[in-house]
Chains A and B, each alone.
Chain A
């Protein structure tokens, strides 16, 4: 069974190398998609036995994931995983999710940071994620424990139903909407996320993000 792991990256630098150091020893096909980074990502990944794709311009994480996913399909992958490039995800969790998808009658397995009490969130991050969850529950009617999780594994044969169009961060919410809309069989599994990485980029919350979710709900 061919499993591909798609790693979207944007100016991740050495964090990407740490992530690849973890992923390369596995038996999975690793697909790195550089989303128009200002740094020379091709040079950073040189020497790693991976597939490398590059967006000439920055299009957003959702777009980079879609490019990598399409490439994984062309490779003939049976299962496709999405894995963040910044080193926050653990390979143990990925392996556990892949095994769970293989051994159960499911279409997609989602990683959840809130089902595991071992993850220690910085306070600001915890507040943001909880607000996102309330938003997702109450406005989007999506009852998932971690609507913004970037770690997921799914079967390639559901890709036609999982055809997300959002190029930015909204792809997470859109994927959950598509799961419900198409009645895909899913399960969330607890994962542990490392938020205390050296030189970790902080993604600051913006009011426009919430506004975009509301507009998405109203007009789609």
Chain B
């Protein structure tokens, strides 16, 4: 095992610990905890056994495993950005609607 693989494993163990802690503290649901744990365990397996990602890359025709990881990471990042942008727009609209309602209710009429 290389130093890089070791660092990744330590990081993944830390993230798993945080996810489980947040579940125990009832900050996240069991499904979200399972999703994050599953996600990081898969990443850990790929880090320990890079042959997994190499085989998948060859299967889908990308070439190198690292390239496949970069493509997937970019895709996921852009998707998250898109979702967050929609969510942020909705939140902004909700805040303005709320602010408007407060202003209209508390309006000081002339005289």
Contacts and interface: CB of A to CB of B under 8 A. Distances in A.
Contacts of B95: 57, 59
A70 B109 contact: no
Given A57-B95, A59-B95, A167-B92, A52 B108 contact: yes
Interface in A58-112: 59, 63, 66-67, 70-71, 74
A59 B110 contact: no
Contacts of B100: 55, 63, 66-67, 70
A51 B107 contact: yes
A84 B33 CA distance: 53
A57 B99 contact: yes
A63 B97 CA distance: 9
Interface residues of A, number: 22
A52 B107 contact: yes
Interface string A146-184: 000000000000000000010100000000000000000
B106 interface: yes
Contacts of A54: 103, 106
Q: Classify the secondary structure of A's interface with B.
A: mixed
B107 A71 contact: yes
A129 interface: no
A167 B104 CA distance: 17
A49 B111 contact: yes
Contact of A49 (B106, B107, B110): B110
Nearest to A64: B103
Contacts of A42: 108
Contacts of B92: 167
17 contacts: A29-B110, A30-B110, A33-B103, A42-B108, A50-B110, A51-B107, A51-B109, A51-B110, A53-B107, A54-B103, A54-B106, A55-B99, A55-B102, A56-B102, A63-B96, A71-B107, A167-B92
